[in-house]
Amino acid sequence: MFTATLLTDPATPALERATVEALRNAWGGGDARWLDPGVAAEFPLDAVPGNLWDVWEGLQALGIDLAVQPAAGRRKRLLLADMDSTMIRQECIDELAAVAGVGPQVAAITARAMEGKLDFEAALRERAGLLAGLAESAIAEVLDTRISFTPGGRTLVATMKAQGGHAVLVSGGFTAFAGPVAAALGFDESRANVLHIRDGKLTGTVADPILGRAAKVQALEEVAARLGIGEDQVLAVGDGANDLGMLARAGAGVALHAKPAVAAESALRVNHGDLTALLFLQGYARAEFVA
């Protein structure tokens, strides 16, 4: 058995009952269940429809996301989440670069790295090098004035933890940001890279080893083993090329507002919903959310 989930942005609900019923009828699905009126609904299916991605494409134009996945085991016990452009709306290194006066140069490198066009480790070292001499106080300035959380993040973490889940923030960015972000959103732990600082200034170097694509997969393996759960019980979410490894290994790997190359390799794609979409995909109704 499979479950089809339709969802949209809670800030601009666009899911109409007629749309849900028309698709259910076309696919011969079971009774629809509304998880949040106007925002998310689901219905059971006997098999994955052959025209899934054609229908997905048509719904995208209406601001609606669609996912079909096995019905069994949808609720996961481990959340493994990327930070930049996933749990927060910005790329921290780009924001630091803007303060340092090298914003466009660093942002261009970031964009190519997240699309998988550059080696992640080399790109991170190059970008960090451009920040050499920046005052350490810029980190606090960026956190206070330039970073905003993606809607639904706290609710996602709190709801999964209330059901016995564990949440890990795993970032190719820096511990100076991942620590505060993880604490603010309620994560149990975080992993990220360490920026070297000397005499109150960034040195332009990063500690070894670099946490990139392989390290995110390693985090999935290590934490799942520590918790005594299978990788099928992991929900991973990210947007960049360095997330592809963990997205592929997780029981549910969600490409959230992801780069096209990343979305193309992901069966679960959320382009319109916020982070509560990850709860709807697990079958949680709005009434079950923990504020």
Is 208 labeled as catalytic in the residue annotation? no
Burial of 242 (0-12, 13-18, 19+ CB in 10 A): buried
Half-sphere exposure of 166 (CA within 13 A, CB side): 17
37 Cβ neighbours under 8 A, 6+ residues apart: 13
Instruction: Given the residues 82, 94, 239, 243, select the one marked as catalytic.
Output: 82
Cα–Cα dist 173/105, whole Å: 17
Is 82 labeled as catalytic in the residue annotation? yes
72-75 — which CB contacts under 8 Å span 24+ positions? 72/1, 73/232, 73/233, 73/251, 74/3, 74/252, 74/281, 74/282, 74/283, 75/163, 75/282, 75/283, 75/284
Instruction: Given the residues 9, 36, 65, 84, select the one marked as catalytic.
Output: 84
Give the residue numbers annotated as catalytic, written as ranges.
82, 84
